[in-house]
Amino acid sequence: MPAAQTYPHFPADVFRAPIGAGTGRPADDRKTMNAHILVVDDEPDISALVAYHLAKESYRVRTAASGVEAIRAAELERPDLIVLDLMLPGMSGLQVLEELRRRPETQDIPVILLTARKEEQDRIEGLRLGADDYVAKPFSPQELILRVGAVLRRVLQAPPTVQGGKVVRVGPFWVDTGAARAEVSGRSLDLTPTEYKLLLTLMERRGRVQNRRQLLEAVWEVTANIATRTVDMHVQRLRNKLGDEAEWIETVRGFGYRFRTDPPR
C-alpha cells in the first residue's frame, strides 16, 4: 500500500505561492502559513482541485485515496487539518472519522468533510462524530479556502485571552478570559477553543438572540453568506458538556440562540 504523497501533478512553484495569493486568505494572516493538510478523496479530479487551491494559499498538501491510507498518514505525519470525503470505497469517510477520533494520536486533528449536497443525514452524523465543518459538493474553491482558514485559525492559536483578563459571570457560569477558563456551578469545563469562544460570546451577549450568521462571524470568523449546521452541532456539543445547566442556552425557533439572564424554569 503506497504512503500518502505530496500531490505530484503541480509544478514546484505552485507550492511556493506567496501568502494571500489565492482567493480566501488575507495577505497578513501568518498564523496558518505552511500548515500541513491531508486531503482524502478517491477521485483524482477532486484531489487535484482541492490540492491545487490549497497549495496556492501556501499550505503543504498531502493526499490519500483510501480510508486505510488516510489513517496511516494521519498517525505518522500528524497533519494540521484533514479534508475528508465521505464517499470512499471500502472504509467510508464516517468510519475513518470515527477511527480518527478513537485514537489518541489523531483525536484532536480537525476534520472538514466533503459531502454530497443531498446527504444531510451523513453531514449531521459526521458533525456528531466530531467533524469541525463540512463543504457540500459541488463546492467553490473560495468557500473551501474560507472554511479551511477559519478552522485552522481556531485550532492553531491558543484559546482566546484578554490582556489583563476579565471575569464574566452569569448565573452559575464563570469565565476568566485572562486564563481562558470556564466553570459552571464550581465545576471546571473541559472545552475546546471553539466551544470556549462560543460560550463566552453567548454569555457576553446574554439576553440577546444571536442568529447563526452572527455566531459564525464572532466565533468562526466566517463572513461569507453560507448555509451550515456547524453552529447547531457545536451548540449541541456545548450543551452536552454543561449537563444540568444546558438550558441556560435557549433555542429561539426561527431566529437562533440566546443565553438566559435568569435561571430556566
The answer to whether residues 43 and 74 belong to one domain is: yes
The answer to whether residues 17 and 60 belong to one domain is: yes
Percent of the chain whose predicted confidence (pLDDT) is above 70:
80
The CATH number linked to 35 is 3.40.50.2300
pLDDT in tens, 246-257: 999 999 988 899
Give the pLDDT of residue 251: 94
The answer to whether residues 139 and 49 belong to one domain is: yes
* Residue 103 within any structural domain of the chain: yes
The answer to whether residues 147 and 172 belong to one domain is: no
The answer to whether residues 22 and 113 belong to one domain is: yes
pLDDT grade for 213, boundaries at 50, 70 and 90: confident
* Pairing outcome for strands 187-188 and 181-184: antiparallel
The answer to whether residues 87 and 197 belong to one domain is: no
Q: Which residues contact 29 (CB under 8 A, 6 or more apart)?
A: 19, 20, 149, 153
* Residue 264 within any structural domain of the chain: no
The answer to whether residues 183 and 145 belong to one domain is: no
Angle subtended at Cα 84 by Cα 137 and Cα 24, rounded to the nearest 5 degrees: 65
- How many structural domains does the chain have? 2
The answer to whether residues 225 and 251 belong to one domain is: yes
Helices 230-242 and 120-129: crossing angle in degrees, nearest 10, is 40
Give the pLDDT of residue 5: 43
Q: Which range is least confidently modeled, 2-6, 29-33, 171-175?
A: 2-6
Higher-pLDDT residue of 8 and 213 is 213
> What range defines the domain where residue 244 resides?
167-259
The answer to whether residues 106 and 135 belong to one domain is: yes
Task: Name the burial class of residue 238, with classes exposed (0-12), middle (13-18) and buried (19+) by CB atoms within 10 angstroms of its CB.
Answer: buried
The CATH number linked to 206 is 1.10.10.10
The answer to whether residues 136 and 56 belong to one domain is: yes
Helix, strand, or coil (residue 11): coil
Selection from 103, 55, 104 nearest residue 83 by Cα: 55
Alpha carbon of residue 58 to chain centroid: 19
pLDDT in tens, 200-212: 999 999 999 999 8
Last residue of a domain, one of 136, 156, 176: 156
* Residue 265 within any structural domain of the chain: no
* Residue 161 within any structural domain of the chain: no
The answer to whether residues 12 and 132 belong to one domain is: yes
The answer to whether residues 144 and 214 belong to one domain is: no
Give the pLDDT of residue 15: 31
